[in-house]
Amino acid sequence: MKRRDFFEKCGQGTLGLMLTYLGLKYPLPAEEKKEMSRKEMVKKMLMKMGKTEKEADAMIAEMEKKLPMVQKMCVCKNCPTYVKGDKPIGYCHPFVGKSKVIEKEKGCICGSCPVYKEMKLSKGYFCTRKSDMEQKMAEKKD
């Protein structure tokens, strides 16, 4: 197999080939990649929704205050889709987001959750489809 074919088959393509030729690593090693935190991701989404940086920061501060309430009132553990032991719960909250464990949807009780009503949410299956905010953003892209 030619070197070029190898790089294209392993997903690095011509750019990877050129960087390797120059002695650079591609893609960057994991320790060099900066993982975006959930808060940074939420702030970026809010700003895409037309919020100023100041407004986004204020909304994030409010979300931080609500997170303990969300996790306390959450009924995720009673849901047929929930996988025992999955943490953290409160998937509807933008700082928690979807589960890294749950893969199969078996039913949804999000609509009966006091958090759902308190926060005026409109979507469901937050454990597999991301937070209400993320689902709404995805709809706008389509």
- Residue 34 tokens read as 């900066």
With cut-offs at 50, 70 and 90, classify the pLDDT of residue 25. Answer: low
Give the per-residue pLDDT at 13. Answer: 62
- Residue 53 tokens read as 């940086």
For residues 114-139, average pLDDT:
92
Give the per-residue pLDDT at 124. Answer: 93
Question: To which residue do tokens 């689902």 refer?
Answer: 135
Contact 8, 14 (CB under 8 A): yes
Q: What would the pLDDT profile of 37-86 be if each residue is shown by its tens digit?
A: 889 999 998 998 899 999 999 999 999 999 999 999 999 999 999 999 99
Average pLDDT for the chain? 84
Encode 43-70: b = buried (16+ Cβ within 10 Å), e = exposed. bebbeeeeeeeeebeebbeebeebeeeb
Contact 46, 91 (CB under 8 A): no
For residues 84-105, average pLDDT:
93
Give the per-residue pLDDT at 102. Answer: 94
SS3 content of the chain, % helix, strand, coil (to 5): 50, 0, 50
For residues 86-97, average pLDDT:
92
